[in-house]
A and B are shown apart, each in its own frame.
Chain A
């Protein structure tokens, strides 16, 4: 394939490169690395997957960008369309949450943040997003923010959560991607990535 001749701009950190090298040993071929590599890319590109991120994953795995884009767009957790706000508030509106008052949670969040579901606040702090069953129905109505589940939610808990998130400097979208990358890696593989990161800093 001719696309290998034009190298895209590469933004993966040495840590990310080390992580991807470890992941490659988990599968018999590079294609199977596409999903975990997209998680690395989502973290490295600040919480979303612009075309450059897709191109980089494709280049590193010797696949075509079209193939990688095709895979990425299938899955709802890869942010291929828009760059979300610093924190994505995912409100479960599925069955149990629906009968346990999810619509009140949606209405309160929309009022409080002044945006509709699917929108991002003008300051880029929050994106509201409706999701299907998060499978913690014993805690309905439920909200997911990054790597955290919160429920059962009510207005007071929403107030407290938003307050805490406003003061959270790190993006929860990035934190989620990183958490997912880390669970793929064995102890020694995480150590290798740490060393790769440290060697650049020193």
Chain B
């Protein structure tokens, strides 16, 4: 039984490395060739894990070969437009100004139910609101609403708003995120100052502390309410 445990650990680590090497896409966002590799990897990992009569190399070598193959395909996919078209296909317009393109639907092997379901997933419940709907190469449906339906933006209203800035986590569950602190050219004294100001005993009691370019600080102690503070930050 110890062999099975050790084999499982080895295979798990290798599959983990393989998946990490292949990128971070979620199943729904995968291109066809990525999905195929994922399915095969799952199957390959199972066989030598459960059958001790098969050498573990029988699982590892095909797995690593697939990683290499996937890497090469991704590389060519990035460089060559023709290859990308062959491997992934191309986005297809299924709804345009003339309405639903039935030919395109047939070509995609899609039913009207699939189309309306996809539209609803894109928050579009009325067919008459759609200017264009495109089926992407990964199967997702992108929708462009008619201008009369699309929400009014600040640009439309000629309103000037502060630029949105990204909140960066500086304290995560009582732990200082040093990399983010260095990236923002801040020191731990900045954190100590806020903690002292909020009468928190130590950094371990801080659940989360984030900061953005506008100097807004989101601060929450463990088991306490969150606060939004304002601090002068030169980022």
- Say whether A and B bind each other: no
- Contact surface of A with B, Cβ cutoff 8 Å: none
